[in-house]
Structure 1
Amino acid sequence: MNLAPRLPLAASLALGLAAPIVAQADALEQQLTELQDFQVIAHRGASGHAPEHTWPAYEQARAMGADYLELDLHMSADGELVVIHDDTLERTTDGKGKVQDFALAELKALDAGSWFNAAHPERADDAYADAELLTLDEVIDRYGDDVRYYIETKSPDRHPELQRALVETLEEQGLVDAGAVIIQSFSQDSLRQIHELNADIPLVQLVWYSPAEDGDGLVEWTGVTPAPAEIDDADFQAIADYAVGIGPNVTYEGEDVIDAGFVEQAHANDLLVHPYTINNQDEMRRLIGWGVDGMFTNFPDRLNEVL
């Protein structure tokens, strides 16, 4: 974070510095300070209780005391930032095809809620039917800086303009200055682009560890780091050059891919650790014991019960 050292308020005023600049620095520093405490990150909203990335999921996440709402972003054919996880429509809407092939008006006409009722009849609600896909602008218009956003850039290679559009939106809405946003991605290039556009935005590098194709140990999906057993301080420092944290998966098909030592080493290199996606309370307790700094969950209520 390229925040300049702050002068005391009285000294700032004596030097003729505007009060909003002090307030901006305070907000950004406050966010970084609070990130040292444990963060409950609502994965796609309270997506265990309601259709992901819909108003019911976000409203329930807020009611359950989540610290951050997680949003995944793709771009529509007409350049709008749409909140949806998959790059295709089939899983969470009644549409078919790629998100990027449809204009926003076409995406808005889709039913993004009924699938949840069919998939989770024990948590079904008639009010979820016909829920709309949302845009980033709509979410910000509704919540402003009353909430904090944990935004993931999806498929940035397909949308090279996504990074600039996202940063410009956050700046125009004052969310960076308000200390109300974190951006995450599996794409190191995406995060580096964002860092160049605005170095004040806290960034988190996502990683995914799974077995190598030849069965010889683990590999990281995009090659950002070596296998956990081979990571050294230099690997973590390379991430710390642009990010404040790392977001790993913890297991792959039931087997651990990281351990408490991974968390300790990340901390030693000034990186927060926010693992995903943790829905079992025993697993939550185990990771809290490892010293993680927060976690993504579909069930913010379960995590707050543990905390």
Structure 2
Amino acid sequence: MKKYIIYLILILAVGSFIFVVKNNQERTVQLIAHRGANNIAPEHTITAYKKAIELGADFIEIDLRMTKDGYLVSMHDDTIERTTNGKGKVSNFNLDELKKLDAGSWFENRYKKETIPTLEEIFETFGKKTNYYIETRLVNNEPIMEEKLVKLIEEEGLQDQVVIESFSPDSLKAIHRIDKEIPLIQLIYPDKMLEVDEKEIKNYAIGVGPYAPKVDREFVERMHKAGLEVDVWFDRKNEKEYMKKILSYDVDTVFTDYLENTEEILSREESE
């Protein structure tokens, strides 16, 4: 009887694994967990990334900032007050100072042991279990973090599991000079949509990242015709309003703050 139960558990586990793999293979749109599963855990923390992976995200998104002593950390804002109990610019702190901060209690007061993770810690925690969608930023208006970023990617052997995005062409071009094989996405500010030069972008990037409410079918088709993929991003407040329409334009990838909701929309669309 005990052997029968063990066999049954194994069959169910294998069946569940096959279903998840098959489901992800059939899905035509890639899902990026924006700042991790930030609607159910504090953004850009190890816990938020773990939950995103558990929910089936194709990529976890990592916004990078650089500390005073040169470490790359996962933080959206250039200051720390919104998501920690500290105050000031990330670039004014050494890593050991940032590590003493509470990066979780602000979120429903349930995550009191969360700290600001370094990119290296994220890579060491998840390895090849997931894919990484990483946003770079200029440091004092200069592309400074790019060489260190590429070095970390190469040391962990994650070249095939990383996409790098940025609003800064200078940052992306710096990475392209270092390693032409890393896929790059040129993010587009909402007020710059009419200025998109797909021929120029094609010289260094594989795609564009426009603001969803500014996207229409004609824009997506124009980018696809140029050989560029379209990875759209939202404001959290308007994602649910625009998601279904955006998916109907055959975009390639979507950022989402609500993984389960987006997966439900995709499942309905693909079953119709």
Q: CA RMSD in A?
A: 1.7
CA deviation profile, 1:92-129 (whole Å, cap 9, x unmatched):
11111100110001000111111222xxxxxxx62x12
Q: Does 1:274 align with 2:255?
A: no
Tell me the residue number matched to 2:105: 114
Aligned partner letter, 1:300: L
Deviation at residue 155 of structure 1 after TM alignment: 2.9
Out of 113, 130, 138, which is 1:155 matched to? Answer: 138
Q: Tell me how far apart the structure 2 counterparts of residues 136 and 289 of structure 1 sit (CA, whole Å).
A: 34
Judge conservation of contact 1:278–1:295 (CA < 8 Å) in 2. no
Judge conservation of contact 1:70–1:150 (CA < 8 Å) in 2. yes
Q: Residue 305 of structure 1 aligns to a residue in which SS?
A: helix
CA deviation profile, 1:57-77 (whole Å, cap 9, x unmatched):
111100110000000111111
Q: Which aligned pairs between 1:76-225 and structure 2 lie closer than 5 A? A: 76-117=67-108, 126=110, 128-158=111-141, 160-176=143-159, 179-210=160-191, 220=192
Judge conservation of contact 1:87–1:155 (CA < 8 Å) in 2. no
Q: Residue 232 of structure 2 aligns to a residue in which SS?
A: coil
* Structure 1 alignment gaps of length 5 or more: 1-33, 118-124, 211-219, 221-226, 252-256
CA deviation profile, 1:139-163 (whole Å, cap 9, x unmatched):
0001111110000002344453300
Judge conservation of contact 2:143–2:170 (CA < 8 Å) in 1. no
CA deviation profile, 1:227-284 (whole Å, cap 9, x unmatched):
42x65xxx11111111111001123xxxxx3311111111110111111126544522
Q: Tell me how far apart the structure 2 counterparts of residues 277 and 262 of structure 1 sit (CA, whole Å).
A: 16
Out of 284, 290, 300, which is 2:249 matched to? Answer: 290
**TM-score of the aligned structures, taking structure 2 as reference length:** 0.83
Judge conservation of contact 2:138–2:144 (CA < 8 Å) in 1. no
Judge conservation of contact 1:85–1:154 (CA < 8 Å) in 2. no
Q: Does 1:245 align with 2:207?
A: yes
Aligned partner letter, 1:242: Y
Aligned partner letter, 1:146: K
Deviation at residue 201 of structure 1 after TM alignment: 0.2
CA deviation profile, 1:11-60 (whole Å, cap 9, x unmatched):
xxxxxxxxxxxxxxxxxxxxxxx8x9410000010111110011221111
Q: Does 1:47 align with 2:4?
A: no
Judge conservation of contact 2:143–2:174 (CA < 8 Å) in 1. no
Q: Tell me how far apart the structure 2 counterparts of residues 277 and 59 of structure 1 sit (CA, whole Å).
A: 22
Name the stretch that deviates more: 290-299 or 271-280.
271-280
Q: Between Structure 1 and Structure 2, how many residues are aligned? A: 239
Aligned partner letter, 2:202: A
Judge conservation of contact 1:45–1:53 (CA < 8 Å) in 2. yes
Tell me the residue number matched to 1:302: 261
Q: Tell me how far apart the structure 1 counterparts of residues 140 and 225 of structure 2 sit (CA, whole Å).
A: 32
Tell me the residue number matched to 1:38: 29
Deviation at residue 299 of structure 1 after TM alignment: 1.4
Q: Residue 248 of structure 2 aligns to a residue in which SS?
A: helix
Judge conservation of contact 1:278–1:297 (CA < 8 Å) in 2. no
Q: Tell me how far apart the structure 1 counterparts of residues 106 and 83 of structure 2 sit (CA, whole Å).
A: 6
CA deviation profile, 1:159-212 (whole Å, cap 9, x unmatched):
533000000111111111xx10000000000000000000000000001123xx
Judge conservation of contact 1:41–1:296 (CA < 8 Å) in 2. yes
* Structure 2 alignment gaps of length 5 or more: 1-24, 267-272
Judge conservation of contact 1:278–1:284 (CA < 8 Å) in 2. no
Query: Structure 1 residues 157 and 186, CA, compared in 2 at 3 Å: closer, same or farther?
Result: farther
Aligned partner letter, 1:58: Y
Q: Tell me how far apart the structure 1 counterparts of residues 171 and 69 of structure 2 sit (CA, whole Å).
A: 21
Q: Which has the higher contact order (CA 8 A, sep 6+)?
A: 1
Query: Structure 1 residues 267 and 157, CA, compared in 2 at 3 Å: closer, same or farther?
Result: farther
Q: Residue 106 of structure 2 aligns to a residue in which SS?
A: helix
